[in-house]
Structure 1
Amino acid sequence: MEDRAYDVVVVGGGAAGLSAALVLGRSRRRVLVVDAGEPRNAPAAHMQGYLSRDGMPPAEFLGEGRRELERYGTDAVRDRVAAVSPDGKGEFTVALADGGAVHARRVVLATGVVDELPGVPGVAERWGRDVLHCPYCHGWEVRDEAFGVLAPEPFNSHQALLVTQWSKDVTLFLRTVRDLPDAEWERLSAAGVQVVEGEVSGLEVEDDGLTGVRLADGRVFPRTVLFVASKPVVRDGLLTALGAEFRETPVGPFPVVDETFRTTVPGVWAVGNAAGPMEQVINAAGAGYRAGTVINAELLLKDIDTETARRRAGAFTPEAEAEVARRVAGGRVHGLAG
């Protein structure tokens, strides 16, 4: 960070951010990754469904990613971004929480989401262990165990029906839900889901393992796994301050992005869970890669067009021509001083 000027600043060091930084570093771009060290999947012991990395601990996966970036001269700091401010010339000043600031031609936001959990005592403490959300992430590891499912608000039966693929012993706890449409009762019955009415007051735990779900009336239902539908809340502070457009989703607002994950703010991309609630690790990495390739090409063509315009205006000196030729040959083109 000696001259504090970068082609791209990546905010967030999860799978999406590191993937974007990797492809940009391999494109000989100067990149800074600013990471607060709060990955969404930190509570999980392992991550699944990522080809060649299935079962790898999340911390180990991210550590390996950071080591790979070192090969390409990418800078990284453990910090937060306090603000991203347009500089009036199509680029940005990125203010860090430690009081410093850097310049960025483009910004990638990979800030992810925060999971809001049901306010049932014990759920937050066991999150990512035997209180789970995604059966694609954890279903195989807990297959054929006794599943419980907390009914979400507003209610839909999707999660309770889905987890029957991994266990036929599934109990849905309706909590505050009082009436279900006949069609919902029929589907749950056809799937073999037991339905229990009544508010849930807490979890039963023995020897650091879930053993049951306790209702407010004192009844306890033996369960060893509990699925809950968390509410993923996007960390949208930076995008909101920039005036980004948002769209409504079933779980709340997320930024509008195009197929390359470009937001409605020129020069700013949002990748991974910062762009949508359903991005698993492998999807997030793919989003970062795609954004990185588009950003590199955009910067390259912008610089070439700038030099072309200068040539046409007669401002292209032999020295400047030699310099741009050198940079093009090296795969890296920057605007030259006039």
Structure 2
Amino acid sequence: MTHDVIVIGGSYAGMAAALQLLRARRSVLVIDAGQRRNRTAEASHGFLGQDGVDPGRIAAEARAQLERYQTLTWIEGEAVAAGGSRDSFEVLTSDGTRHAGRRLLFATGVRDALPPVEGLAERWGRHAFHCPYCHGYELEMGRIGVIATGPSSLHQALMLPEWGQVTLLVNDALTLDDEARAELDARGIAIEETPIARLSGEATAELTDGRSLTFAGLFVASTTSPATPLAQEMGCALQETPMGMQLQTDDLKETSIPGAYACGDTARMPHSVSLAVADGAWAGATIHRSLIFPAA
């Protein structure tokens, strides 16, 4: 069987795209490895109508809604290779099965590269975050620590006083000139230049000089990259952004390979559930348009 569209990645963006296509009565295959980026978070915020809801519940309810459409095929598994061209793509899954599709959509999300701070990975998504709009309000205007990773951390620190009392933990990752220090001072941001030895408790930074700073929450500007190399291995172009590397797409979400599209965190910035859903919905609509008007 040749599907109209194969969607690799069944999280928010991929499902939003699939929904548009299913409602146009197109045959859609979703291949999902079950690795949502926010799987460690207890609640999703900033998504209209779902604010404060367990992100796993949002994903489960969305899938249940998709499964009402008879033209959906859902595979729980990993896509390990992809190739082909417009109207003739093929995706290989880890069980050795080959799947054919006229269009291909990468909604694979991203990986977060965190600085090598002991204890940070264990707190990621629970007490250490990247998005203040998603997690800042719940910190109740308490003390916030920003663990520097590079120049983008300065921008992150300057935003965060909207949500609490901010300390920028330089951690040998950032050089602050006089202008930057003046900007931080104007926003009431404390600067801590002693490196971090480890994180403990919920959000306590133990410093190398023996002091400990306890925060309501921590923020880190992680560096992102596509969660899987499938699209790059197929030949899709990448582009560099202030947040890291992402798949390059045009305004219709088509990659550098005709007929192959990308949406969600892997193909846009900044990142949030609501933005991923919007991006996916647009990708689904533009893919459907390409099936109706092949020359477009």
Classify the TM-score, shorter chain: over 0.9
TM-score (norm 1): 0.83
Q: Specify the SS of the correspondent of 2:123.
A: coil
Indicate yes or no: 2:104 matched with 1:107: yes
Which residue of structure 1 lines up, in the alignment, with residue 167 of structure 2?
171
Taking structure 1 as reference, are residues 248 and 178 closer, same or farther at Cα in structure 2, changes over 3 Å only? closer
Three-state SS of the structure 1 residue aligned to 2:245 is strand
Question: What whole-Å deviation, never above 9, does each CA across 1:210-238 have from its counterpart, x for those lacking one?
Answer: 3x211112111222311111111213512
Q: Name which structure has the greater RCO, CA cutoff 8 Å, separation 6+.
A: 2
Conserved in 2, the CA contact under 8 Å of 1:260 and 1:287?
no
Structure 2 CA distance for aligned equivalents of residues 20 and 178 of structure 1: 39
Trace 1:1-338 onto structure 2 (pairs within 5 A).
Answer: 4-73=1-70, 74-86=72-84, 90-154=87-151, 156-167=153-164, 169-177=165-173, 179-205=175-201, 209-210=202-203, 212-235=204-227, 237-302=229-294
Q: Secondary structure at the match of 1:61?
A: helix
Report the Cα distance in structure 2 between the residues aligned to 1:179 and 1:103, rounded to whole angstroms. Answer: 51
1:3-38 Cα offsets, whole Å, 9 max, x none, are x42111100011110011111111110111000000
Q: Select between 169-178 and 195-204 the one with higher mean Cα deviation.
A: 169-178
In structure 2, relative to structure 1, the CA distance for the partners of 1:23 and 1:216 (3 Å cut) is same
**Identical columns (%):** 38
Task: Tell me the distance in 1 between the aligned counterparts of 2:289 and 2:211.
Answer: 61
Q: Which runs of 4+ in 1 moved over 4 A?
A: none
Secondary structure of 1:92's counterpart equals strand
Q: CA deviation at 1:57?
A: 0.8
Structure 1: gaps of 5 or more residues = 306-338
Q: Note the C-alpha offset of 1:297.
A: 2.2
| Change in 2 beyond 3 A, CA 1:139/1:300 | same
Contact 1:232–1:277 (CA<8 Å) still a contact in 2? no
Structure 1 residue 301: deviation in Å?
A: 3.0
**In structure 2, C-alpha distance between the alignment counterparts of 1:143 and 1:86, rounded to whole Å:** 51
Residue pair 2:168, 2:192 contacting (<8 A) in 1 also: yes
Amino acid at match of 1:139: G
Residue 156 (structure 1) shift: 4.3
Give RMSD over aligned pairs. Answer: 1.6
Q: Extract unaligned runs of 5+ from structure 2.
A: none
Q: Could you say if the C-alpha distance between residues 278 and 155 of structure 1 is closer, same or farther in structure 2, counting changes exceeding 3 Å?
A: closer
Classify the secondary structure of the residue corresponding to 1:296. Answer: helix
CA 1:240–1:177 in 2, change beyond 3 Å: closer, same or farther?
closer
Q: Give the whole-Å Cα distance in 2 for the aligned partners of 1:46 and 1:52.
A: 13
Q: Classify the secondary structure of the residue corresponding to 1:290.
A: helix
In the TM superposition, residue 90 of structure 1 has moved relative to its aligned partner by 3.9
Greater Cα radius of gyration, structure 1 or 2: 1
Q: Verify the 8 A CA contact 1:20 1:290 in the aligned structure 2.
A: yes
User: In structure 1, what is the Cα distance between the partners aligned to 2:119 and 2:68?
Assistant: 43
Secondary structure of the residue aligned to 2:293 is helix
Cα-to-partner distance string for 1:280-331 (whole Å, 9 max, x where unaligned):
11111111111111222221234xx9xxxxxxxxxxxxxxxxxxxxxxxxxx
- Which has the larger strand fraction? 2
1:179 CA displacement:
4.3
Q: Distance between the aligned counterparts of 1:103 and 1:232, measured in 2?
A: 30
Provide the C-alpha distance between the structure 1 equivalents of 2:173 and 2:98, rounded to a whole number of angstroms: 50
Q: How many residues align?
A: 294
